[in-house]
Structure formats: C-alpha cells, structure tokens
Amino acid sequence: MKSLEQLVRPNIRALKPYSTARDEYAGGEISTWLDANESPYDNGLNRYPDPHQRELKRRIARLKGVREGQVFLGNGSDEAIDLPLRIFCIPGRDNVVSIAPTYGMYRVAAEINDVEMREVPLGDDFALPVEALLAACDEHTKLLWLCSPNNPTGNAFPAAEIERLLRAFEGMVVLDEAYIDFAAEPGFLPRLDEFPNLIVLQTFSKAWGLAGVRLGMAFAAEPVAGLFARVKYPYNINCLAQETLARQLDRDIAPHVAQIRTERGRMARALAACPAIERVYPSDANFLLVRTAAPDRLYDALIAAGVIVRNRSRVRGCEGCLRITIGLPEENDRMLRTVQDFRP
C-alpha cells in the first residue's frame, strides 16, 4: 500500500483537532466543573459526555479482541462511512471503487463529499470481481469499498479473495461487516494487524438489536483510528447512547443469533417452495434476497397484509428481487402465508 503520508489529504495531516474542555487538564480529582459552560443543575444529562468514550472503548476492545487504540465509535455506521472519504479523498479529484449492488449509503456519502464513485458489477451468483475491481482503480483511487456479507445480496465473499484485494490495492480497503455475526465464517477483525490498509466496520444495530442507539464501530491500525478521532466532531456519541450500550455489553446475544440463523434456513426452504418465488439466494446475513416474476405486485400484497419488506427490483443486479428481513417466527409465518397464497 501507499504510505499514510501519500493517502491522507494534506489539510487533514495539518489539522489541529478541536480541543474540548476535558482534554486540557492532566488528570487529578476534579469535583467542581466550571470549564465547559454547562448547567450546574444535575438532571443526569447536564454534563457533556466523554468525547473519547474511553471506558466504552476499553470494554469493546476486550469484547472484540483488539487494542483500545484500534477502536473508533461513530454516530451509527454512517459516520464511519463518511469519515474515510473526508480523511483520504480530495473532493473533485480522487475517486473510490465499490462493488454493485451493495449498500447505497456508500454512494450517497461519496456524492456528498464530491468524490467519484466507480461501481463494478458483481459476477455470476454475486461473485466478487477481484480483477475487475483492481482494474477500475487508478492513481487517484483512495478507497475500495466492500460489504461482506453484502447488502442486499446476502452473501459473504471468500476470505482469500478479500485478502487478494488487501494485498494488491494501494489505498485503504473499507470492509463493512455489519452482518458478520450471522455468517458461517469469521470476518477480518482478528487479522487487523496483518493489513495496515484495512478498515473494518461493524455495528450494534443488527445482532445486538440496538438500532435505536445509533452506535457504529470502525476498527483499524492505530494511526488510522487516530485520524478518525482527529476528524470526528467532539461529542459525537451522546450520554444516553454511551450509557445504554454500556448496560448491554454483558448480554449474551448468541441465542438470538442462533434463532435468526435457524429461521433463515426455515424461511429459505419454505419460500423456495412457493409458486411465486423463482429463486432464493444463499444468505450469510439476517435477511433473504428472493426473486419473483412480479415483485411490485407481491410487495403490494405483503403491504396489504400488514407486512413490509424491501423492494430491490429497481436496483441494478437485483431486478425482480425483494429483500426480506428475518423476524420472529410468528412474523415470518405471517409473511410466508401471503407469499404462499400469491399468484403472479
């Protein structure tokens, strides 16, 4: 890979980050806080949160088997998606490369930052087009976006193919593992130290069931994670989010993940037997992508039955497809009854 000196925007290299009131003292037992223009009336929320989320990062580092300095916490994964573009890409000059179809926020974030997004279609059965991705890169390509398991296709890409990209690409590889808890194989987080150009995104919204907290994670080598911390807004994770997550971290999510995997298999088999369904794609995520001859009509039939799924039929590469999240067994059965009764 190129050096960070070559990859990082010059203004970011020179940036002096905003210093909060709590950054400027060297410790000590403080009992009277008159530094940050806060209200002195204690209601549980009158003080600013820890801008560095130190205790939370320590616990997450232990949970994930990484070092504290490799952890970045963001306001949802959206912040962790936006920051690499702001750190590495010069607007109007640099570009990024992504697979397609994939999570739409990558393109939105690139367009907001005035960075060209080059999309490379997935191969047959949504295979990872390694050589085509590398061929799409040039001297101004700073980021390569991968989502594995991929949204909306549901498949995880072989580790050897991701490794090939990590070794061959000269910029930063952003690997979104939002659905990794539902996959059969482990992700790349245990291999973080092997690849200095790897940024792994994960989330508490899926397997942890904390979408309402809006707290995402990025993991990278310490110098890269340090750049995230330098560029983020000072108090990006509010008190309630930090406190809620801290209470949840000791919870065992394995039973819920196991049930979703079981239901995913049951729904895949049941949907494949429905007359309206032409194909159920293999999934390593908490959803299924299914193809039907009448996606709009089936979508409307599900809405009429009080069930909402995601119509992906207008996404290039997902023509005719609906994406169905795995819910509780009774919710899945309600959806299945409508699909079983539907005739194209």
Query: What average pLDDT does range 189-196 have in this prediction?
Result: 97
Q: Residue 26's pLDDT band (boundaries 50, 70, 90)?
A: low
User: Is the same domain home to 271 and 212?
Assistant: no
Query: What average pLDDT does range 122-141 have in this prediction?
Result: 98
Question: Above pLDDT 90, what percent of the chain?
Answer: 94
Q: Are 288 and 264 in contact (CB under 8 A)?
A: yes
CATH of the domain at 289: 3.90.1150.10
pLDDT for 19 beyond 90: no
- The domain boundary, picked from 213, 231, 248, lies at 248
User: Is the same domain home to 14 and 95?
Assistant: yes
pLDDT digits (tens, 9 = 90+) for 248-260: 999 999 999 999 9
pLDDT digits (tens, 9 = 90+) for 195-218: 999 999 999 999 999 999 999 999
CATH of the domain at 133: 3.40.640.10
Q: Which range marks the domain in which residue 100 is found?
A: 4-248
Long-range contacts of 89-95 (CB under 8 A, 24+ apart): 89/9, 89/113, 89/115, 89/142, 89/143, 90/9, 91/115, 93/140, 94/140, 94/141, 94/142, 95/138, 95/140, 95/141, 95/142
User: What torsion do the CA atoms of 63, 210, 103, 148 make, to the nearest 10 degrees?
Assistant: 30
User: Is the same domain home to 105 and 186?
Assistant: yes
User: Is the same domain home to 133 and 215?
Assistant: yes
Query: What average pLDDT does range 211-229 have in this prediction?
Result: 97
User: Is the same domain home to 280 and 231?
Assistant: no
pLDDT for 189 beyond 90: yes
pLDDT for 25 beyond 80: no
What is the predicted pLDDT for the residue at 27?
66
Candidates 138, 144, 137, 171; CA nearest to 6 is 171
What is the predicted pLDDT for the residue at 24?
75
**Locate tokens 């979104």: which residue?**
176
pLDDT digits (tens, 9 = 90+) for 37-65: 999 999 999 999 999 999 999 999 999 99
User: Is the same domain home to 169 and 282?
Assistant: no
Degrees to nearest 5, angle at CA 326 with 325 and 327: 110
Give 237's contacts (C-beta < 8 A, 6+ positions apart). 49, 53, 56, 73, 74, 75, 215
Query: Which of helix, strand or coil describes residue 189?
Result: helix
- The domain boundary, picked from 190, 214, 248, lies at 248
What is the predicted pLDDT for the residue at 87?
98
Residue 11, amino acid: N
What is the predicted pLDDT for the residue at 31?
86
User: Is the same domain home to 85 and 220?
Assistant: yes
User: Is the same domain home to 211 and 181?
Assistant: yes
User: Is the same domain home to 116 and 231?
Assistant: yes
Q: Residue 155's pLDDT band (boundaries 50, 70, 90)?
A: very high
How far is it, in rounded angstroms, from Cα 215 to Cα 73? Answer: 7
- Report DSSP letters for 221-243, one per residue: -HHHHHHHHHHS-TT-S-HHHHH
What is the predicted pLDDT for the residue at 23?
80
What is the predicted pLDDT for the residue at 21?
78
How far is it, in rounded angstroms, from Cα 315 to Cα 145? Answer: 18
Into how many domains does the chain fold?
Answer: 2
User: Is the same domain home to 116 and 180?
Assistant: yes
pLDDT for 335 beyond 80: yes
What is the predicted pLDDT for the residue at 22?
76
What is the predicted pLDDT for the residue at 30?
84
Residue 217, amino acid: M
What is the predicted pLDDT for the residue at 344?
81
Is the pTM higher than 0.75? Answer: yes
What is the predicted pLDDT for the residue at 158?
98
User: Is the same domain home to 239 and 329?
Assistant: no
- The pLDDT mean for the chain works out to 96
Q: Are 75 and 240 in contact (CB under 8 A)?
A: no
User: Is the same domain home to 215 and 244?
Assistant: yes
- The domain boundary, picked from 226, 248, 270, lies at 248
